[in-house]
Copies of this chain bind each other. A is one copy, B any other.
Amino acid sequence: MKQIFLLCCLCFLAGTALAQATWIWYPGDYEIWLSNRMQNRRTDRGSFFPIFWKMDSHYPLMDFHKDVVLSQAEEVHIYAEGTYNVKLDGQPFEGTPAVITVPAGRHRINVKVFSQGTVPAIYVKGATIVSDSSWLSTYEDKEWIDETGKTSDITATKWLHAGCWNFNDPAILPSAFTLPTQVMAAVKNENGLVDFGKETFGYIHLKGIKGKGKITLYYGESKEEAMSDKGAVNVDWLSFEKDVNQDSTLPASKAFRYVRMVTSPGIQVDDVSMLYEYANVNEPGSFKCSDDEINRIYEVAKYTFHLNTREFFIDGIKRDRWVWSGDAYQSYLMNYYLFFDKGTVLRTMYALRGKDPVTSHINTIMDYTFYWFLGVYDYYMYTGDRSFIKEIYSRMQPLMDYCLSRRNKDGLMEGQVGDWVFIDWADGLSKKGPLSFEQLLFCRSLETMSLCADIAGNQQDAEKYKLLAAAIKEQLFRIYWNEQKQALVHSTINDHVTRYANMFAIFFDYFNAAQKETVRHSVLLNDSIQHITTPYMRFYELEALCALHEQSYVLKEMKNYWGGMLQLGATTFWEEFDPHKSGAAHYAMYGREFGKSLCHAWGASPIYLLGKYYLGVKPTAPGYATYAVEPALGGLQWMEGTVPTPDGNISVHIGQKEMKISTAGGKGTLRFSSSIKPVCKTANIQQTKDKWYEMTMEPNTTYVINYQSVK
């Protein structure tokens, strides 16, 4: 017996070394709380500028518990953000204990926390007992003392696995979290106009303020904006009423490249620098090629995306600094090819979803609700994280119920009072009646529901949503497909064709092969169809073209559009770019002189396009269990890069005559064209059609293929 106990003990000790205690909370609650804080930091001319949809809150009262089996007693330290109590096997400890002793044997530890202004959270650390996502949490423990004086737990209580991030220091409360910062000096300072050399984000630091008086800071993403007293969107008015001699870091972060400082007589400042604030994410993805302009585009896209990847994926660092589902959806996709940071995706999805009841579309926009579902779908495809799907499914249902309750008499999604049907910023775009684009997103959302219901073990729902999706798809083609125009028309009102539904139907694989071919010409390459001007929808247009193997065309478009911004001196990519404009006219939008955001996440789409459609790497089963590599040089001489997966990075180098691919976990399929019969010494290559070949790749292996690029 003693021997066995000793083994057990060693086993527990072995576990100890690995057990990392971390702050835990109810899943989604911290994310919602943090997004409230972040989304309320925007100002405009010094005026607080919050979001205009419902803001939710964490549950202020939370119960955490864990069942443990100990081979020997252990001391457990307890930290909490909020007022708390601790129970062992249902019996409360007196007072608010910082340390408890848990005896050997099987036990249940409960910690119950109340915190109104911050999120109830705990940090528990013993030799083997540590707080982590294996703890369960509920806002409704339904525990009472029954007639016999016994405390009962009702099994109906829904316990969810606790949420956490990487807050592993008990001394730092979750509410104290801030992104890291580092000091950055200005590049130039001429007559009070301070230039940081490129678009950046953070806190202005004034060094050596002397005297008394007023200091005004005009921020500009462009020099013109910083020079405009009335036009600068971000302004700080500071006043020093007593003689000072100090340094000062401004409390509010801003987006800017330029800062113009105007001081009243009697006050002076020695130097202006900044604290650059950033998210500390890894960067396993990469891309490099034979075209220097493309390389510069990729680097600037990376920097643009870095700046907009913060506590959450936001739309733009100057404006709106908010979490928008449509913008975030593109960020998720870029993220899978650059950071592969699951945490930022999940935080963003929790923040967007908010809490029940659903009283509005996400961000009030119908399409943005659907992008949220699509985000869940893609998250699962790229990460294979089934546990999150099981967790989030109960939050998917009410959102879909909301959609289903707002169908029109034909079962189609149609804008109702209070709904914003957005699609895109485009002149004269009709939002009337049920639109093909919305049905298409709705259909994919229903497919996502069916998939996730299945993972969550709800077969009845899975079947229900499958039937609903099939019915919408049938209607989509019956109602909107126009044989004469060989395209999906925009609405039920007339036969007007727009690009939106057509391009999505390509990469959703809703079109058959024949339809894809005709739509390429009838819509995508058809100049008489209204052009897309926002990088937001260019993202999908270029994706659709890539899916149709138009990489050469898309490469030229990239060089024109993103290269065009670089030629104008852009250091990050813009919310919108119209090459026909000139000078400061580029900075105007929404009827305001400097209304445009010059650092917008959706401007960074080359990250996604180059990774998915040039390097050609994409999962074909959840979490890259199987995946495809379908390289397309699109006119480049060579390219190389890495694509992160849950099980390591896939690296690809493609030249004219040689391909070198190092695989990660999962089973890969390489598909490529070659004008000669290709050879790989370590694998069999199958021909699939004229000049097209296919090769199966094993996990964690490097393959060299000799071939000849098809001109």
Contact = CB atoms under 8 A, between A and B. Distances in A.
Contacts of A114: 36, 40, 48, 50, 55
Contact of A47 (B58, B96, B418): B96
Contacts of A61: 36, 40, 50-51, 54-55
30 contacts: A33-B116, A36-B60, A46-B96, A48-B112, A48-B114, A50-B61, A50-B85, A50-B112, A52-B143, A52-B144, A53-B140, A55-B59, A55-B139, A57-B59, A94-B235, A95-B237, A117-B117, A117-B118, A140-B359, A142-B418, A142-B420, A144-B420, A145-B590, A147-B425, A147-B427, A149-B592, A154-B418, A155-B418, A156-B417, A357-B398
Contacts of A142: 52-53, 360, 364, 418, 420
A47 B92 contact: yes
Contacts of A417: 154-156
A44 interface: yes
A93 interface: yes
A94 B144 contact: no
Contacts of A148: 591
Contacts of A387: none
Interface residues of A, number: 66
Given A144-B364, A590-B145, A59 B49 contact: no
Contacts of A425: 147
Nearest to A356: B357
A141 interface: yes
Contacts of A117: 116-118
Nearest to A140: B54
Given A96-B48, A360-B140, A40 B590 contact: no
A143 B51 CA distance: 9
Given A33-B116, A140-B360, A357-B357, 11 more contacts: A37-B116, A46-B95, A50-B114, A52-B144, A55-B60, A57-B60, A94-B235, A116-B117, A149-B590, A155-B418, A156-B418
A295 interface: no
A256 interface: no
Interface in A99-122: 112, 114, 116-118
Interface string A148-171: 110000111100000000000000
A58 B57 contact: yes
Interface in A662-690: none
A157 B51 CA distance: 15
Secondary structure of the A side of the interface?
loop
A94 B48 contact: no
Given A83-B48, A591-B149, A57 B57 contact: yes
A278 interface: no
Contacts of A157: 418
Contacts of A48: 83-85, 96, 112, 114
Contact of A95 (B40, B47, B141, B154): B47
B55 A94 contact: no
B54 A139 contact: yes
A485 to B, nearest CB: 26
Contacts of A33: 116
A148 B33 CA distance: 33
Contact of A59 (B54, B85, B360): B54
Nearest to A40: B114
Contact of A49 (B85, B154, B592): B85
